[in-house]
Structure 1
């Protein structure tokens, strides 16, 4: 299967997914989510067997991911959630803290000790879990179908790297395992 070059063009995330229309296996999909990536962490018991998420940021992030996924598949008349072994790529973008910048007339410059990538909270694995669960039934049948990752990471906004946004969010790409080698080549 030949995928369109815009499907995984990292220069600018597409507003709508670029999906191949050639015959063959189901095409991949690409979507961009804007919002603050949130970790799916611990739950707390509030009584009568009711458990709620500890983080108040989870629900808005899940809604942002679901809406972006629905928008991405909306224009595809015959879209059904992907099934079978899948490979995903998720690049999460975070705002750089103000403490990473100098002060005064050099406030636009990074401090010498500013880390190049986020290496603290939230945990990448917990953000990934929350994002995967949000795509269930829209992009894929279940996140258990994901057998590997092409690219997975946390970056600061404005970093010069593929799929890094200029504001907080995530670029998500999913394709069938059979097509993954072709896409990553």
Structure 2
């Protein structure tokens, strides 16, 4: 199976990527998102997607099996850097990747739902695979494809490629 096809839709969204999934009970049977950052992130994704779609002649929401790629970029915490004259120097103990909250799967969930809301595809159930689903620090901008210089995400949607008729899986 080849993954060299061009994306059907690609966008860059700036802002703080936020996870969706955890909810808390606030009484009278009402549940609200635990993160106050979910709504602004989803709104940013919807706005950018709708802008892109509006510029795409004859657009209709994607259907059929789709693959996605999402690369989330986060600013490093100040604790990763030295102090004083070394304030711009990354500590040797600083982690290379953001293996901390938020959960990658919950970031994908909030972004997938926002793409549905924007009309990027009919439903996020159409996603059958991910070509890339990653978290990086903005300090890797220019060294790693799709990593941004500021917080946000690069999102690509592709037509999923299946096995040829009569093909076997391993």
- Superposition map of 1:124-163 within 5 A: 124-137=104-117, 138-159=119-140, 160-163=143-146
- Superposition map of 1:54-133 within 5 A: 54-133=34-113
Partners in 2 of 1:167 and 1:124 — Cα distance? 18
CA deviations 1:117-159 (Å, max 9, x no partner) are 1001110011111110110041111111011111110000030
Give the SS at the match of 2:63.
Answer: coil
Partners in 2 of 1:47 and 1:101 — Cα distance? 43
Number of residues of Structure 1 aligned to a counterpart in Structure 2: 155
Q: Name segments (4+ residues, structure 1) moved above 4 Å.
A: none
Note the residue ranges of structure 2 that are not aligned, 5 or more in a row.
Answer: 163-170
Q: Residue 76 of structure 1: CA displacement?
A: 1.4
- Superposition map of 1:154-173 within 5 A: 154-159=135-140, 160-173=143-156
- Using structure 2 for the length normalisation, give the TM-score: 0.86
Partners in 1 of 2:127 and 2:22 — Cα distance? 23
1:41 and 1:55 in contact (8 A); partners too: no
Partners in 2 of 1:28 and 1:178 — Cα distance? 13
Partners in 1 of 2:106 and 2:72 — Cα distance? 12
Note the residue ranges of structure 1 that are not aligned, 5 or more in a row.
Answer: 8-26, 180-185
Partners in 2 of 1:163 and 1:47 — Cα distance? 42
Give the SS at the match of 2:116.
Answer: coil
Q: Which has the higher contact order (CA 8 A, sep 6+)?
A: 2
- Using structure 1 for the length normalisation, give the TM-score: 0.80
The Cα RMSD (Å) is 1.6
